[in-house]
């Protein structure tokens, strides 16, 4: 293979071993032992860059050339955590402009949006700056490309907590859900915000129950909204028997809605009502249990055949529990 090639910008690449300014450095090859089982076929450029990267790491050099070397190493492998850590070490000790580093890491993230190490580097730089200016806007840009990017959401949550920027976050999640009501990441973020800001204050929880129900009425087969609703109901005294929720579910069922999530809720609702009236089940409860058994059979045989064994198990559990109580 030739000792020269083109870099990403189209200019001629000169190997480090051919650069006069690096003549004072002895490259350190990767140690694979005397009998490597499976040697990785690294490209000549990769090998050259990392041989010099190991040499710099070994002597602890902090210099402009070492900083450039980290950038070349990260072009070859942007997931190398050690190189990112060393780059931060150099930036700090040289007193480099960290705002410029944010621009750099922003470009890297755009090319590697689901790389943990690049997001961690951005977090570290923002923390060193202790300034969140433009950070939420950058994350929004990345989420517009992929609304379910876990690393972007994780970084966003850190920024919100670190700098106390929760004020407009519910509105942001609302806009995302207006665009895609099935965006599970946006529902998760909404739950995160409610938890952190209000610690599930009763008034807020009831407002969010209304919000979730409205979403369910729009798209009843949206599992994300149902999961959000169930998460909220943990924090109300009535639980699954919350009157407003029961009313909406009964309305949907009466209209012939066969959403799996609705049917599963009706089954759980009947079981919870039986738990509440465990010693003296009312006639209404017995009717709900009969309906729950019917729904379990329908789910097993028609609407959710993939989980047939599960629904038959639930049916048997309901029958056993009801017979024991009655």
By annotation, the residues acting in catalysis are 114
Plot region of 110 (φ>0 → left; ψ -120 to 50 → alpha; else → beta): alpha
CA–CA distance, 226 with 245 (Å, rounded to integer):
11
Helix (H) or strand (E) holding 6: strand 4-6
Helix (H) or strand (E) holding 258: none
CA nearest neighbour of 79 among 121, 40, 27, 47: 121
Residue-level length of the chain: 326
Phi–psi pair at 180, nearest 5 degrees: -155, 100
CA–CA distance, 246 with 266 (Å, rounded to integer):
9
Q: Are 193 and 170 in contact (CB under 8 A)?
A: yes
> What is the maximal distance between C-alpha atoms in the chain?
91
Concatenated DSSP letters for 8-38? TTSSEEE-GGG-GGGTT---------SS-SS
Tally of CA atoms within 13 A in the half-sphere of 257 that contains its CB: 23
């Amino acid at each position: 293979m030739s000792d020269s090639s083109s870099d990403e910008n189209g200019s001629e690449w000169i190997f480090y071993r051919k650069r006069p300014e690096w003549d004072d450095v002895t490259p350190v090859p990767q140690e694979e032992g005397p009998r490597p089982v499976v040697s990785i076929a690294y490209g000549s450029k990769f090998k050259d860059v990392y041989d010099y990267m190991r040499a710099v790491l070994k002597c602890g050099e902090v210099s402009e050339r070492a900083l450039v070397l980290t950038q070349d190493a990260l072009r070859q492998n942007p997931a190398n955590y050690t190189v990112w850590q060393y780059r931060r070490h150099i930036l700090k000790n040289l007193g480099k402009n960290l705002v410029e580093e944010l621009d750099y890491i922003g470009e890297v993230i755009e090319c590697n949006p689901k790389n943990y190490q690049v997001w961690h580097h951005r977090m570290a730089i923002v923390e060193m700056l202790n300034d969140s200016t433009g950070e939420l806007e950058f994350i929004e840009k990345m989420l517009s490309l992929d609304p379910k990017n876990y690393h972007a959401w994780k970084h966003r949550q850190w920024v919100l907590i670190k700098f106390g920027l929760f004020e407009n976050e519910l509105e942001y999640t609302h806009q995302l859900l207006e665009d895609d009501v099935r965006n599970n990441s946006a529902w998760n973020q909404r739950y995160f915000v409610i938890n952190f800001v209000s610690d599930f204050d009763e008034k807020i929880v009831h407002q969010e129950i209304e919000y979730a129900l409205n979403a369910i009425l729009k798209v009843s087969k949206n599992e994300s909204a149902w999961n959000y609703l169930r998460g909220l109901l943990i924090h109300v005294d009535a639980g699954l028997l919350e009157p407003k929720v029961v009313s909406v579910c009964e309305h949907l069922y009466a209209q012939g809605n066969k959403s799996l999530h609705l049917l599963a809720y009706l089954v759980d609702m009947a079981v919870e009502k039986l738990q509440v009236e465990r010693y003296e089940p009312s006639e209404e409860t017995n009717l709900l249990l009969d309906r729950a058994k019917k729904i379990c059979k329908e789910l097993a045989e028609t609407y959710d055949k993939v989980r047939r064994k599960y629904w038959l198990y639930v049916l048997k559990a309901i029958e056993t529990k009801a017979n024991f109580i009655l």
